[in-house]
Structure 1
Amino acid sequence: MEGDSSVPRGRGAKLIELMKKQKEAAVRAVGAPEEESKEETMPRGRAARLLQVMKARSVGAATVPTVSQTPSTSKPSEVQKLSEEFSQVSLSQQTREPLSYKGTSGKELRLSCNYIRLSVEEGRGVFEYEVTFYPNLDAKNIRFRLVNNIMKEIGSVKVFDGGHILFLPTKITDTSKSFDLIQPISNEPIKVTLIYKKKKSLGDKDCLQLYNVLFKRIMHILDYTQMGRNYYDTEHRHLIPQHRLEVYPGFAVAVDELEGGLMVCLDTQHRVLRTQNAYELLIDIKQKMNPRVFKETAQKNILGSIVLTRYNHKTYIVDDILWEMNPTCTFTSRDGREISFLEYYKTEYNIDIHDPNQPMLLHKKKVKKSGSSETDERLICLVPELCHLTGLSDEMRNDFKVMKDVGMYTRVTPAQRIVALRTYLDNVKKNANAQKILSEWGLSISPNNLLMPGRQLDVETINFGKNVSKNAGPNVDWNREVANNQVITPVDLRNWVVFYTDRDSKIARDFVQCMLRFASTMGCVMSQPRYEQLPDDQTSTYVKVVQQKLNRDIQIAVFISPTMRTDRYSVIKKLCCSQLGVATQVILARTLSRQDKIRSIVTKIALQINCKLGGSLWTVKFPFQGWMICGIDVYHGGPNASVCGFVSSLNESVTRWYSTAHFQTKELGDFYKAAFTKSLERYKNENGSFPAKIIIIRDGVGDGQLEVTKRYEVEQFEEVLKFFELTTTICFIVVQKRINSRVFHSMSDGKMENPPPGTIVDHTITRRYYYDFFLVPQSVKQGTVNPTHYIVLHDTCKLKPDHVQRLCYKLCHLYYNWPGTIRVPAPCQYAHKLAGMVGQYMKSPAAPDLAEKLWYL
């Protein structure tokens, strides 16, 4: 397309062309796949009944989906191959030396954490044996019985997989040991031999899995109930009857081998459940809504939500509502009988279902095939009457009273966490069965949580326009300063439009007057806008007005909306940002009606609009030149569609950003090459040369994806640099927010408080085989602060730990939607906002004219 700056040109175009040729050559080399017969596994029981319903729904369609979508003859994807390749990473790590990534700058702090040291008795551990049977046995149950008899003779506990692998807590032989037994079915003699293989490393995958299983047993012994991955005390729940909620206290428990040895991470958790079940929610919707939109409204409120079935304490995601089914429908049970759901729940759980005409809920569960990386889809049918809703609805989250009442139980202070942790340790110590489980495997748990030293980085200085500098202060908050000082790059606002309805006309004009008064403080020139009054607030009206009243010459369109509606918001963003290339600002009229806070509100809106026009608000000092900082995050909007946001810096002060988003159908794609190419070209156009060093910060990568990311994603960036024939080096950093690690500041009087902003922990509780550290960038007065985990996966820049840690902390100061520090570096948060805006609302990329503006704030 002519004039489309988003299309790669020059060397970028050549790179894309080369990638296409490589793919075409690979296809020709492989050849066209031949037709292969697909052996379809027929579902039975309830799954068969569900399949019939789904087939009935799809009458007239070209194809009917089956339960088993992936035949055993299909070729594994590239991602599957990589996952399999790295599934044995822990084995190679046994031979690696532990890695240290310690810095030295900053003030020393006395810290504590929620880790407890786990010790293994000398001469004990996990010993692996191979089990052989002569003559050979195929029956697993017989193998288990024979091995159990051997364990009685030895007097030991064991973990046996039913095949040929046996784990024991002690070493019983250096070579092999045989046992003569009697086959329990045929009464024939059989010889069982245990062949010693090796002692497992503490960090070995099998070893850690075993220790986690042991603590799972301990949680059940202490009467905790597993819900999802964590464990909760269902007997001591907190009731919030005014909001029909209840809060279950509990713990997240995990064992891992860290830099300081074998540790147990124990974190306080809370699960919020609604006393309302899915059936009651359906009844409420039916009573309040028009019957014509009942089903549509019900699906919006229930689909995607997580429900808990109390009869087995399991959680499920609701994927569909089966209006054609009800509890009177039958399915074939395991013993071959036709049984209804009513009978099934009465027989199995002694539960009476009161409404036999209620629709059923559907959960689709992916189950891994035995001995294969492929998965089958298992359909699970649920009765709404038995499904209790978990979590808070959007309406509840927007209700201050609800959040305040829930926060009384979920917002736990550091001191309360320590008390809960030590209470748990006391319970383990006093419980004989729990102690027996640990002693059988030679384990002992420390009576107290871990104490360790940490560091606090120096406070940053915030730079505004006209060379004004202010210290960020102990609370890293410069809200007052940003409202009273000129921004770094003010943008004049001369051509803008304000849309509003008749009832909001006064609010609209008062808003504009406040904007004009604040313009001089920001340092920009602001003209009167063009006012456009809407006849009503229908979505179709907004579509019509935008198409008639807006053009590409408009700098920004401001919409003062009577209510918040997702469909209206989506239409505005798609028409303006995607089709016209015009930035938008959507404001709720209720927000502007708060006269006591109107100055503060309009100030924040004016600053946000300045960013959307390409301006910059503040920065910190960066002691380097020729560096480019990139941020990456992925929005997952559905099972087959994701949006990747890619943001890169354009100048030395790291105040201007280039942003691009791309739809991808799989988790790992080749998109990075195209996005990185365009970012390099934009950087060169702005600075006259390519960057000397590139820092890439990737959000949204879990522990199981680290090695795949290191190999697959980093390789794409390196290939682009090779194509451009650059000597530029790369530092690739993964940032993790959803972690259970907690850090506390141990005061001189023994009290535990939140650590101050800039706290660094880079030893003891860090990963044994990665360059990583924890950073606390924020000041938190309520509850417990969550540290952020950084992992340096790849570094050809050869940066010192101090440099990486200080850089990440500096970048946490540069998010222009908040005059303070945030949990992750600003480029990651920008990429998160970009991907979310495109994936959730627009469903299409933004116009190229907006690529160098923060239009998605």
Structure 2
Amino acid sequence: MIPKKQKGFNGEPKSHQEIDRSQSPLKQRTNNNNYQQQPPQQQQKQQPQQPQQKKQQQKQQQKQQPQQPQQPQQPQQQKQQLQQPQQPQQYFQPRQTQNAWGKQNNSIPLEEQFQEVKPITQPQTPETTTTTTTTTTTTTNTTNTNLLVPRISRRDMVKDSDIENVAIVTAKSRTVQGKQISLISNFFPIVISDRKSLEFRIDFNPPQVTFDKRRKLIRELLSLNNISKEFYFYDGDSILYSPINININSQSIDGVQIFIRKVKEVNHRDKSSVNSQFFNIITKNNMRKMGFSLIGRNYYSPINKIKFEDYLLEVWKGFSTSVVSTESGTMLLADTSSKVVRSETVLDRIKYLRYDKDRCFDEIINSIVLTRYNNKTYRISNISWSSGVNDKMDGTTTFLQYYQRNYPNHKITDYRQPLLKSEVKFRGIKQTIFLIPELTFLTGLSDHMRKNFKLMAELAKHSNFDPSQRYQTLSNFISDINNNPKVSKSLEPWGITYQPALKVDGYVLSAPKNLPNDNKRQLNNIKWAFVVDRDEYERTRDCQTNLYNFINETGMSQPTTICYTDPRDKRPIQYSNIMENAIKTHGIQFFLMLIPQNQPEIYKEIKRKSLVQFKVLTQCIFPRTFYKGRSVTNKLKQQVIAKLGYAPWGLNQQIFNGVIPKKTMIIGIDVGHNSDMRGHSVVGFVATIDDKFQKYFSRSFVQKRPGKEIIDSLEEATKEAMSKYFSFNNCLPELVIVYRDGVGDGMLDLVNRSEIAAMKKGFAETPSSWGIKPKLMYVIVKKNTNARLFTADPIGNPPAGTLVDSKITHPNWYDFFLVSQVTNNGSVNPTHYHVLLDEQKMPADLFQLFTFQMCHLYFNFEKSVRVPATCQFAHKMAFLIGRTVFADAAPQLSDKLFFL
């Protein structure tokens, strides 16, 4: 449906038939200034100066009333537009037209958005010449056949593996005692011979925007020069690799001049400069030859899918692969993967919801869909109710005609359906594309499906492999790569083979013991209320018995018991009215509320009003859960104690002696993108303010830009945390350790340059009278890595505390893998820690031990968790604010863990 390209916007698999991309339903909704600064006269011509109020009214009218299709610009108009004076070094200019909705700017297929413009200051009249090629004869417009017009450059981005000025390991010697353990990883060494490999730069004139057209041209060019496909790998854009020298400077195919320039000779055996792009191109080629299709970032086999007819679901099995540089060399990091695809289309779901716009928005927006005609996934950003399949894409071709011509096997039968919007990035520029609901399939599980225990158990059988199954599946996968005839033939000229899984040595760190705290005296002074359905309270003795047990366990005083006056009234507002009256009448500070199941609006109403308006704490629980006895009562007690600002347990402070300074602050940061706030990300920021890591300061921030991962308000949050710490201790911390979760791939450089600078600025702006500014350690936490670790004999999960800091770590980073939790089901995921900044110069093994200890202070779970407690607290906060509250909690609650 859209042009193919690499990196984040991958093209269709090779197995799909190449189609004509001259008209694609890709529509751009970006401002022209994203491409270039246009001359003032042209800007005025495109959009006259108007008052801001009038502009907003016009935009509102466009949304409410779709305009009639208008004719596209005539060739003469386009020619005049090309002949306007251009600024120097300006190579491309978006062509202007009007689409079916009357919106101007770049609302035409991407392939046709750019017309070649000479980098000159005076207009020239192009002369028409006829160019005869080896396959066809076409007419092209050109003024200089030797002029090489570059394509739009990709967005400048520093790869995670290439960032500079990061921390290095201060000490490799081990002073911390730990049991040594032999492990097997899912890192598979890539062996490459000493044969040379050459990198070439590819350019086209005129530029070829579509992925398909570029690959076709290169395939024809090299075939004409007797170079078989086994002797080159092309990325579909501007890079080509070959083990032989290609002596072609330029050649014309189908009226397109192709330029090939040798860039360098690549040494793939150099650990410090592994060409991950080269190996990832090879991996993609291997997977395609083995019958796998790229869907999202992983490869799946549509043939080996498992159907669940009763639930309209399919499970596609496959693999995630990436090529990484490690201390041991270049590795293929491979893991099993499964994808849940629903058999119902988005149109089926819209009809089920009876075209209710609010319900459709809640269920469909931000969901991931799959288009099976090209096996691509997209995130839905909006539904265009005023658009339809008979709207014209470019003034001539409708969506219906496009799909009938290019995908005849995928029929469109409903001509009244709306269109789906999805925001994608093409060469670093955000584009809006339109999808057909009837041809898109929902992926993942709905909330209703997740509550079906039978379904979840069935799905777990096909997705949660135990360690032995996972290891055997991965070993067979590598064997299949080496033994597949097609793959072997393509790899033979390069001398590339894959070895079995890499064995590594690890250490098992000792777990600290939790020391219970007695908080009964403090909790006895809390004014609280127990809210319950009157019939529920009087009907069963279990309710009163468990309430008594809860009071006895916590040491809290007798509550004000509030029973519904009308138990049939289940409206959410009833609960907020109860809270408001109790606060005014009794000064209630905390509510324990039994609420009905399967009514999420009640929970949302309680949390929104209590945290934002009433500034009190609440604990909601289902009656059926509350009646389960002392096991639940004990967990409820711990949760309530932590929520009220106290610690159910702590750690022996002696274990920190000689490890970190006594005055140390731990900060956890996470960014949640799974919010219901129209795609806006929510930042959770949680910091310790005492020496025992039992008192906390918390803040949440709603990011201004949807989906943004870099934190805007980090300087402000840092200054507030420093102020809270000073108020509690009358001094500043000596050391601040930040555990930063939620950093996506490719974001390390931005975090390194932006967030660390913001925190240091926050330190610097604290009053000098508060003392010496703290040192900073900034650590990236990745809990959702594809890395796996197995015990060697027998194959199983490594125990909690397993640490690996060699062989599979990055050759130039201060990083390590840590298994901090016990896993009974499936295969354990080690958490990856990467120290970006280390001003303390703490020995690495001491910091690794300290990190493991911090995983034992999450008060919602008595055992250790996957990440340090502050990190998990930040995650819980971002999730609650983004999915339920939709606003920052009242500042008065910043010293409470209200999100537990």
Structure 1 Cα separation of the partners of residues 457 and 434 of structure 2:
36
User: SS at 2:564's partner residue?
Assistant: strand
TM, length-normalised to structure 1:
0.79
The letter of the residue matching 2:510 is D
Residue pair 2:553, 2:637 contacting (<8 A) in 1 also: no
Q: Specify the alignment match of 1:533 in structure 2.
A: 564
List gaps (5 residues or longer) in structure 1: 1-32, 43-51, 73-82, 287-292, 466-485
Q: 2 CA distance for matches of 1:515 and 1:185?
A: 81
2:691 corresponds to which of 652, 669, 679: 652
Q: Deviations along 1:805-832, whole A, 9 cap, x unmatched?
A: 1111111111111111111111011111
Alpha carbons of 1:424 and 1:492: their partners in 2 closer, same or farther (altered >3 Å)? same
Structure 1 residue 824 corresponds to structure 2 residue 896: no
Contact 1:67 1:376 in 2 (8 A): no
Aligned ranges for residues 360-375 of structure 1 at < 5 Å? Answer: 360-369=418-427, 373=428, 375=429
Q: What is the distance in 2 between the residues matched to 1:308 and 1:146?
A: 32
Equivalent in the alignment of 1:432 = 485
Secondary structure at 2:501's aligned position in 1? coil
SS state at 1:569 partner: helix
| Greater Cα offset, 676-685 or 156-165 | 156-165
SS at match of 1:619: strand
Q: Does 1:380 align with 2:462?
A: no
Deviates more, 1:413-422 or 1:261-270: 413-422
**Relative to structure 1, is the Cα distance of residues 787 and 88 closer, same or farther in structure 2, using a 3 angstrom cutoff?**
closer
1:560 corresponds, among 577, 594, 602, to 594
Match of residue 811, structure 1, among 840, 854, 859 = 854
Matched with 1:210 is 278
Measure, in 2, the Cα distance between the counterparts of 1:358 and 1:138. Answer: 39
Q: Which residue of 1 aligns with 2:507?
A: 455
Aligned positions, number:
752
Amino acid at match of 2:514: I
Alignment check: 8 A CA contact 1:345 1:351 kept: no
Please name the residue that 1:47 is paired with.
none
Distance 1:518 1:67 in 2: 64
Matched, 1:719 2:761: yes
- When residues 683 and 398 of structure 1 are mapped into structure 2, their CA distance, relative to the original with a 3 A threshold, is same
Within 5 Å, which residues of 2 pair with 1:76-87? Answer: 87=158
Query: What's 1:776 paired with?
Result: 819
Residues 550-606 of structure 1: CA deviation (Å, up to 9, x unaligned) = 2493220222212343333222222212222210112223433xx4x2322232222
Residue 251 of structure 1: CA displacement?
0.4
Tell me what 1:542 maps to.
Answer: 575
| Counterpart mapping for 1:785-796 below 5 A | 785-796=828-839
TM-score w.r.t. length of structure 2: 0.75
Quick check: 2:320–2:334 contact (8 Å CA) kept in 1? yes
CA distance in 2, matches of 1:278, 1:349: 18
| 1:499 CA displacement | 2.5
Deviations 1:139-175 (A, max 9, x none): 77799589627963799823568998653335x5xxx
The residue type paired with residue 656 of structure 1 is: K
1:663 corresponds to 2:670: no
Q: Is residue 728 from structure 1 mapped to residue 774 from structure 2 by the alignment?
A: yes
Instruction: Report the equivalent of 2:843.
Output: 800
Q: What's the counterpart of residue 683 of structure 1?
A: 725
Structure 2 CA distance, aligned partners of 1:88 and 1:518?
A: 53
Q: How far 1:193 sits from its partner (Å)?
A: 7.1
- Paired residue for 1:127? 198
What residue in structure 1 maps to residue 414 of structure 2?
356
For 2:888, the equivalent position in structure 1 comes to 845
Q: Structure 1, residues 393-424: CA drift from partner, whole Å, max 9, x if none?
A: 11111221111111111110111111111211
Residues of 2 paired with 1:153 and 1:609: CA distance? Answer: 71
Distance 1:436 1:40 in 2: 58
- Tell me how far 1:214 sits from its aligned partner: 1.0
Q: CA shift at 1:669, angstroms?
A: 4.5
State the alpha-carbon separation in 2 of the partners of residues 722 and 853 from structure 1.
27
Taking a change above 3 Å as real, the CA distance of residues 39 and 113 of structure 1, as seen in their structure-2 partners, is: farther
SS in 2 for 1:252: strand
| 1:704 pairs with 2:746 | yes
Aligned partners of 1:643, 1:508: CA distance in 2, in Å? Answer: 41
Q: Which amino acid aligns with 1:319?
A: S
352-361 vs 528-537, which moves further = 352-361
Correspondence for 1:498:
530
Give me the whole-angstrom Cα distance separating, in 2, the residues matched to 1:618 and 1:191: 68
For residue 284 of structure 1, report the CA deviation from its aligned partner.
3.7
Tell me what 1:276 maps to: 344
> Aligned pair 1:406/2:459, yes or no?
yes
For residue 631 of structure 1, report the CA deviation from its aligned partner: 0.8
Partner residue in 2 for 1:418? 471
1:112 equivalent in structure 2 = 184
More displaced, 216-225 or 359-368?
Answer: 359-368
AA partner of residue 108 (structure 1)? Q
Aligned-residue offset at 1:428: 1.6
Could you say what secondary structure the match of 1:504 adopts? helix
Counterpart in the other structure of 1:80: none
Contact persistence 1:757–1:776 (CA under 8 A): yes
Q: Please tell me the residue identity of whatever aligns with 1:839.
A: G
**Greater mean deviation of Cα atoms: 99-108 or 833-842:** 99-108
Q: Specify whether residues 282 and 712 from structure 1 end up closer, same or farther in structure 2 by C-alpha distance, changes over 3 A only.
A: closer
- Structure-2 residue corresponding to 1:628: 665
Residue equivalent to 2:28 = none
1:131–1:791 CA distance, 2 compared to 1 (3 A)? closer
> How high is the sequence identity, in percent, across the aligned residues?
26
Cα 1:139–1:149 change in 2 (3 A) is: farther
1:244 — aligned with what? Answer: 312
Aligned with 2:303: secondary structure? coil
1:317 aligns with 2:379: yes
Answer yes or no: is 1:607 the counterpart of 2:638: yes
SS in 2 for 1:753: coil
Aligned-pair distance for 1:712? 1.1
* DSSP-derived class of the 1:216 partner: helix
Q: What is the rounded CA distance, in whole Å, between the counterparts of 1:283 and 1:238 in structure 2? A: 26
Give the 3 Å change call, closer, same or farther, for CA 357–128 of structure 1 in structure 2. Answer: closer
Distance across 2 between alignment mates of 1:321 and 1:154: 46
The answer to whether the 8 A contact 1:230-1:250 is kept is yes
Letter in 2 for 1:645: G
1:547 partner letter? E
Counterpart for residue 469 of structure 1: none
Asked if structure 2 preserves the Cα contact closer than 8 Å seen for 1:160 and 1:166, the reply is yes
Q: Report deviation, 1:261.
A: 0.4
- Pair 757,298 (structure 1): closer, same or farther in 2 beyond 3 Å: same
What's the offset of the Cα at 1:56? 4.5
Aligned position for 2:142: none
2:725–2:731 contact (8 Å) kept in structure 1: yes
Alpha-carbon distance between aligned partners in 1 of 2:522 and 2:589, rounded to the nearest angstrom: 14
Q: Deviations over 1:172-221 (max 9, x none)?
A: 5xxxx966988678999x99875756657756889211211111111111
- CA drift at 1:783: 0.8
- The verdict on how the C-alpha distance between 1:364 and 1:164 changes in structure 2, with shifts beyond 3 A counting, is closer
Aligned partner of 1:256 in structure 2 is: 324
Cα distance in 1 for residues equivalent to 2:219 and 2:481: 31
* Structure 2 residue 183 is the aligned partner of structure 1 residue 152: no
Q: Please tell me whether the aligned partners of residues 634 and 700 of structure 1 are also in contact (alpha carbons under 8 angstroms).
A: yes
Equivalent residue letter for 2:641: N
Report the CA distance shift for 1:331/1:531 in structure 2 as closer, same or farther (over 3 A): same
Matching residue within 638, 641, 650 for 2:680: 641
* Partners of 1:100 and 1:221 in 2: CA distance: 45
Instruction: Give the Cα separation in 2 of the matches to 1:187 and 1:557.
Output: 73
Distance 1:677 1:819 in 2: 32
